[in-house]
Amino acid sequence: MTCLVTGGAGFIGSNLAEALLERGDRVRVFDNFLTGRRENIDGFAERFGGAFELLEGDLRDLDAVRRAVAGVECILHQGALPSVPRSVADPVLSNAINVDGTLNVLVAARDAGVRRVVFAASSSAYGDTPELPKRESMTPNPKSPYAVQKLAGEHYLRVFHSVYGLETVALRYFNVFGPRQDPKSAYAAVIPAFVTSVLSGAAPVVHGDGGQTRDFTFIDNVIQANLAACEAPAGACGKVYNIACGSRISLLDILESIYELVGRRIAPRFEPARAGDVRDSLADISLARKWLGYEPAVDFAEGLARAMDYYRAIA
């Protein structure tokens, strides 16, 4: 199969591109390197030869997106300007990339006869609704520009499926973590930020009281879900699926686990809660089990240990 991975030099995209290449697919990576990193795909050309192609371009450029989708059977649309805080700081730029860019991908896919588009949606669409676990049938209540943008992408996928017959699958990721997640970004996710702080002897920063809970999902589980979404029957299309582990852990409990793995305890520094963040998140993954055959293979403890090995190696 020939696949396009938008945002393929990013954390999730590069891991996904590598998994596709390793199973024998041809992969074209499309990235503008605004947040993607070239080191994430270093060596792919040497390892996989002509099966790997890099096309540098921007999702906001429809002509560039049309070139990227040419001859492709399946698009795994990971490209985005990630981070809730970044969307709060610059909602115009994030909307242009996350909404206009997604519409460009869908239009280009429709016109090129692409078989299927798999979209990286986000659990942030649920917002702070008190009911747990979160089910896809719940009314979304986004509380950040990023959440609104990802929800808009879901709606566009559903409409392109119903109006144009394009096969689409939206995967609502819950707090993905693992190797290649950038710990140096000003908008670094909590696990790489915690791990690198403790490894370096610095106080980890906790926004809020640390009692917030998340359904953290190791990268291998997300890759499995994407591969399954590419091959799922047509009846699975036009739908949204939670991709997570179905369990939750608080930020302070994550710190305790990191202290145990590192063998060092450093008191955290507490700062005010961030605008747009939700308090608690937990997924019901039964729909993904039913339609995609999804079953998380790596639990939080194993995933954290693997992530720790990666951050130690690059420290």
pLDDT value of residue 129: 83
- The pLDDT assigned to 277 comes to 84
Task: Give me 252's structure tokens.
Answer: 């302070």
C-alpha–C-alpha distance, residues 124 and 87, integer Å: 12
* Identified catalytic residue from 146, 156, 294, 311: 146
Whether residue 156 lies in the annotated active site: no
Tell if the pTM clears 0.85, that is, is over it.
yes
Mean pLDDT calculated for residue range 207-219: 96
pLDDT in tens, 246-298: 999 999 999 999 999 999 999 999 999 988 888 999 999 999 999 999 999 99
Question: What's the chain's average pLDDT?
Answer: 96
Q: How confident is the model at residue 110, as a pLDDT? A: 98
Q: What's the token pair of residue 32?
A: 């503008």
The tens digit of pLDDT for each residue in 120-152 reads 999 999 998 889 999 999 999 999 999 999 999
Amino acid identity of residue 206, one-letter, is V
Does the pLDDT of residue 46 top 80, yes or no?
yes
**Would you list the domain boundaries of the chain?**
2-177+217-246+278-297
pLDDT reported for residue 187: 65
Residues 6+ apart with CB under 8 A from 272: 207, 208
**pLDDT tens figures, 167-199:** 999 999 999 999 999 888 766 789 999 999 999
CATH topology of domain 2-177+217-246+278-297: Rossmann fold (3.40.50)
pLDDT at 5: 98
Give tens-digit pLDDT for 86-107.
Answer: 999 999 999 999 999 999 999 9
SS3 of the chain: the string is CEEEEECCCCHHHHHHHHHHHHCCCEEEEEECCCCCCHHHCCCHHHHHHHHEEEEECCCCCHHHHHHHHCCCCEEEECCCCCCHHHHHHCHHHHHHHHHHHHHHHHHHHHHHCCCEEEEEEEHHHHCCCCCCCECCCCCCCCCCHHHHHHHHHHHHHHHHHHHHCCEEEEEEECCEECCCCCCCCCCCCHHHHHHHHHHHCCCCEEECCCCCEECCEEHHHHHHHHHHHHHCCHHHCCEEEEECCCCCEEHHHHHHHHHHHHCCCCCCEEECCCCCCCCECCECCHHHHHHHCCCCCCCHHHHHHHHHHHHHHHC
Q: What percent of the chain has pLDDT over 90?
A: 94
